[in-house]
């Protein structure tokens, strides 16, 4: 994951990748959706993309690098779009509301989370993948903190980072419920409740 450079770049996902690498990530997602995690092999992805097997190592370093790029592609653009929208808002309740709306849209993207949860068991078992995806989550948390405060020296940043960790957990937890029961999981009411709880908790963070 190039999480650190990406967080400040403002670009869409894949801007830093060669066209061949982007095609291979798209091919990997098609293979994953069609054949599941067991079918997501380097050979299958290369064949789907019409590339040589060695192209995976050339562009991603390893299969783990390719998988990390797939995970990155699943939610990067939506997260960055939400961040851009919230930063345009004045800080306070209006910005928090825009942030929650972006999270609601992201959580409701069932196909994306189906792909993510299909890959997750592999991520948990592979040390390299765990580190790469952990870096991606760090990028998510950093986006949230920057939405809470524009001041890099804000003494509340540690408290905001704890809130950011909970926000990521809410998205992943509700996404699981939405994937399992699309009609029974009412994201509108759940995120309305979460927004009220978030406002209350943020109001309790001391200024100094």
pLDDT digits (tens, 9 = 90+) for 173-187: 999 999 999 999 999
Number of domains in the chain: 1
What pLDDT shows up at residue 11?
44
Of 33, 65, 36, 31, the C-alpha closest to 46 is 31
Residue 208 lies in a domain: no
The pTM assigned to this predicted structure is 0.80
- In angstroms, the CA 79 to CA 130 distance is 20
Task: Indicate whether 152 belongs to any domain.
Answer: yes
Q: Does the residue 56 lie in any domain?
A: yes
Structural domain of 15: 3-203
Task: Please state which of the ranges 25-39, 84-98, 153-167, 170-184 shows the lowest mean pLDDT.
Answer: 84-98
Q: Is 92 domain-assigned?
A: yes
CA distance 73 to 17: 11
């Amino acid at each position: 994951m190039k999480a650190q450079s990406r967080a400040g770049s403002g670009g869409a996902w894949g801007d830093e990748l060669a066209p061949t690498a982007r095609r291979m990530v798209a091919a990997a997602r098609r293979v994953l959706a069609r054949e599941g995690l067991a079918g997501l092999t380097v050979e299958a992805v290369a064949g789907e993309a019409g590339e040589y097997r060695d192209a995976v190592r050339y562009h991603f370093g390893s299969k783990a690098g390719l998988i990390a790029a797939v995970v990155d592609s699943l939610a990067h653009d939506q997260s960055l779009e939400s961040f851009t929208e919230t930063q345009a808002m004045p800080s306070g309740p209006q910005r928090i509301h825009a942030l929650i709306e972006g999270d609601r849209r992201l959580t409701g993207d069932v196909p994306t989370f189906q792909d993510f949860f299909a890959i997750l068991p592999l991520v948990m078992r592979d040390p390299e993948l765990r580190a790469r995806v952990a870096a991606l989550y760090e990028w998510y948390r950093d986006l949230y903190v920057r939405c809470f405060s524009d001041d890099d020296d804000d003494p509340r940043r540690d408290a905001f980072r704890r809130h950011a960790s909970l926000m990521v957990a809410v998205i992943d937890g509700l996404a699981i419920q939405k994937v399992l029961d699309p009609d029974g999981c009412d994201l509108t009411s759940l995120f309305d409740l979460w927004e009220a709880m978030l406002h209350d908790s943020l109001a309790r963070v001391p200024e100094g």
